[in-house]
Chains A and B, each alone.
Chain A
Amino acid sequence: MNSSLTLRDVLAQLADEGFALPDDYENTISGLELETQEPGAPWYVRLFAGLSAWIAALFLIAFLFTANILQEDESAIFAGLLFCAIAVGLKRPGSRNDFLEQLGLALSLAGQVLFVVGLGSLWEEVVPVALALIVLEILLLWAYPDILHRFISTIIIVGALLAIILNQDMLEATHILIFALSVIAFILYWQENRLLLTGLRELTRPVSYGIAVSLLGLLILPLIEDADVRWWQLTAALLLGVLLFLVWQIAADLGLASRSEVMIWLAAGCVALFIPAIRMPGILGALIILLLGFWRNNRLLIGLASVFLVFYLGAIYYVLEWTLLEKSFALLVTGLVLFLLRYVLLRFTEGDAI
């Protein structure tokens, strides 16, 4: 990265390359009031705010029940919706009052829990409660413009969908859900810059993170023996398709011919990963997130995928469906194929960049 570059240099180079810029862009820029470009709070500060809000929400709920303020199911539903409405009212776009933000977040989370608990006690059925929760979360996604809240809402929506699948005993639909999440994650990151121009990025950015985290979270299911979901090879095949399309798209971005030798070897590498992924599809999911992260210069995604991969390789030990010997051969062969692929790639690209 050239640290001496300025916006002027970048715009000049764009113009040289034939990108059309407004004729008077220098005057336009000087006429605009440059916002203070803050990159936003780091992820761990948001995580801290989220954890604190969850703890505050749980204490608040405990207070409401132990003080007998909420005694009936209907009152919990009403209080839940009221808390969510107050939270939305407290959220002023553009304002920066940390106390109100934290209060709103805690109230909204408490409201959502009360809403689900109230409806659950009243209806005693999973599907309608989960559907009502999805509707509430979609409304909050639209009405509560907060990155952390939207991230949490996305994860809750995926959780509610999974609850419906498990409750209806449609376990194999989990593969479709995982595939859908991987496709949505791919599209959202692929189109990230176009979404910015449409003004949707404020909504899609936290949703993308929520989908990426949910995707990796669902891919832990194959490691759980009691999950009873079969045919993980189907998930592996679907994720392989997404991975190959992602690689093809990145290559197109870099101007590589789809039938070049490098592309063929890269595709072969992806297919090699299918061997361990038959039983451990999380490997492919993590790789998709890892590539999306690097493609979009998103260090948080890269870190998330890396931590998940380390966890996954360790957790595979406890998967009982394959013997240790089978897992050992699958991992060893994959490792050797990846080394071979690296050797071939470096040979093909000697003195060149891809």
Chain B
Amino acid sequence: MDEHSSLDLPPSPENLRWLARNGILNAAPLRLRSGQALERALEISGHAPDRGRWLRFLDIILLVLGAGFAVSGIFFFFAFNWADMHRFFKLGLLEVAILAAVGLTSCLGLDKLAGKIALTASGLLVGALLAVYGQIYQTGADSYTLFLNWALLIAGWALIGQFAPLWVVWVLLFDLSLVFYWIQIVGDVNGQLYLWLFLLNGGAILAWEIASARGVAWLENRWTPRLLALPTFIALVAPTITLIFSSTGERSRDPLLFLMLALFIGASVATLYVYSQKILDLFMLTLCAFSLIIAFNAWVSETLDFEEFTLFLVSALFIGQAALIAVWLRRVSQQWEERSA
């Protein structure tokens, strides 16, 4: 590498640390205050916060923590179920709090973080209102109706809010509705529940990725689809393992398990292709690969009847597969670097 190309490299933290390790940033007089030049270099290149970034951080952290503490406090207050407080007063207090949060959103606007957080707080308080309503009138409604109604009532806000945390909360409320419906009404966790969970979370990821590819600014972060990928893969791996370890009779009672296996294979192929060729996302690839090796090794264990040799074989398989995946992930990452160079 020639002189110019070395000095013209971007000042990444790794490159700056490399300079420091090689004595460029800790020349003789600096040794006395070793590390200061590196810290300043990181600051100049934007890898350490300056005053402006600290102010922005404090602004966000105080806003988020303040809202988090206040909303939690309101939830706990109504969960206490103060007997001396009249029911209309309780409902009125919550409605006033929701109106205040919505009013704040309206005043601040949805283009400001404070406005989005106020809208999220109002969305959360709707849940408290529904819970208090159920508490006062002893509606006897199951938990799934609470979560479902909550999700339906805040659907409009989730759609106009353009705020990823609110959107995630909204999807999670539907997840909870489904899980509680199957636990409380159906009474059995079966292939149908997994299918709905897969369709809901997988569909949410698909919608997110399509909209993100079309350049919608608030959908650019990667943590949202990653977070949703966790329930998606759980909904695929759990029925596959159930299928592997179930008897013929159990399989015939729940034929959807076979469909879930097919969906697992299909979704894995799609995930491996999309996130290695179209969008680089090592998290998605890692999660998918881990799900596959869990299912595959469960199948090996069951097929070989958990004998002594099987235990040794599965141990060796986990080591070999993890190493292979690490090599493959590095290769995918390098291919993307070469493509972008």
Contacts and interface: CB of A to CB of B under 8 A. Distances in A.
Interface in B1-33: 1-3, 6-30
A246 interface: no
Interface stretch (B54-62, B178-186, B191-199, B208-216): B54-62
A198 to B, nearest CB: 8
Interface in B167-204: none
Interface residues of B, number: 96
Interface stretch (B87-95, B148-156, B286-294): B286-294
Contact of B35 (A14, A32, A193, A254): A193
Nearest to B62: A342
Interface in A272-311: 276, 290, 294-297, 309-310
A76 to B, nearest CB: 16
Nearest to A37: B14
B54 A338 contact: no
Contact of B326 (A6, A20, A98): A98
Given A14-B41, A51-B290, A295 B49 contact: yes
B66 interface: yes
- What range describes how many residues of A lie at the interface? 35 or more
Contacts of B311: 59-60, 62-63, 66-67
Interface string A19-56: 11110011111101111011101101100110111011
B141 interface: no
Interface string A95-134: 0001101110010000000000000000000000000000
Nearest to A286: B65
Nearest to B328: A98
Interface string B284-323: 0011011001000000000000001101101110111111
Interface string A51-88: 11101110110110011000000000000000000000
Interface in A291-344: 294-297, 309-310, 313, 316-317, 323-325, 327-336, 338-339, 341-342
Nearest to A329: B73
A333 B22 CA distance: 52
A196 B20 contact: yes
Given A7-B7, A28-B24, A42-B282, A35 B55 contact: no
B15 A37 contact: yes
A6 B29 CA distance: 24
A335 B51 contact: no
B323 A99 contact: yes
A6 B7 contact: yes
B35 A197 contact: yes
Contacts of A37: 12, 14-15, 18
A260 B13 CA distance: 32
Nearest to A303: B223
A354 interface: yes
B29 A20 contact: yes
A325 B80 contact: yes
A327 B62 CA distance: 20
B37 interface: yes
Contacts of A263: none
B266 to A, nearest CB: 22
A191 B38 CA distance: 12
A13 interface: yes
Contacts of A317: 75-76, 79
Contacts of B134: none
Contacts of A168: none
B58 A345 contact: yes
A3 B20 CA distance: 21
Given A10-B16, A42-B282, A196-B20, A5 B322 contact: no
A341 B70 CA distance: 14
A271 B70 CA distance: 17
A106 B320 CA distance: 11
B74 interface: yes
B256 interface: no
Contacts of A25: 24, 27
A67 B308 contact: yes
A45 B68 contact: no
Contacts of B322: 48-49, 52-53, 56, 102
Contacts of A276: 69
Contacts of B79: 317, 324, 328
A9 interface: yes
Given A14-B40, A42-B282, A297 B13 contact: yes
Nearest to A32: B22
B111 interface: no
B108 interface: no
B19 A45 contact: no
A310 B14 CA distance: 32
Contact of A32 (B6, B289, B330): B6
A125 B290 CA distance: 38
Contact of A21 (B10, B24, B55): B24
Contacts of A26: 3, 7
Interface in B269-287: 282-283, 286-287
Q: Across the A-B interface, give the 6 residue pairs with the lowest CB-CB distance, nearest first.
A: A1-B46, A335-B70, A30-B3, A335-B69, A332-B73, A331-B73
Given A7-B8, A335-B72, 6 more contacts: A10-B11, A25-B27, A30-B3, A335-B66, A339-B62, A353-B52
24 contacts: A2-B46, A19-B37, A25-B24, A29-B19, A30-B2, A39-B12, A42-B282, A48-B286, A48-B289, A51-B290, A53-B318, A56-B314, A56-B319, A57-B315, A62-B311, A63-B309, A102-B319, A102-B320, A199-B21, A332-B77, A334-B69, A342-B66, A349-B55, A353-B55
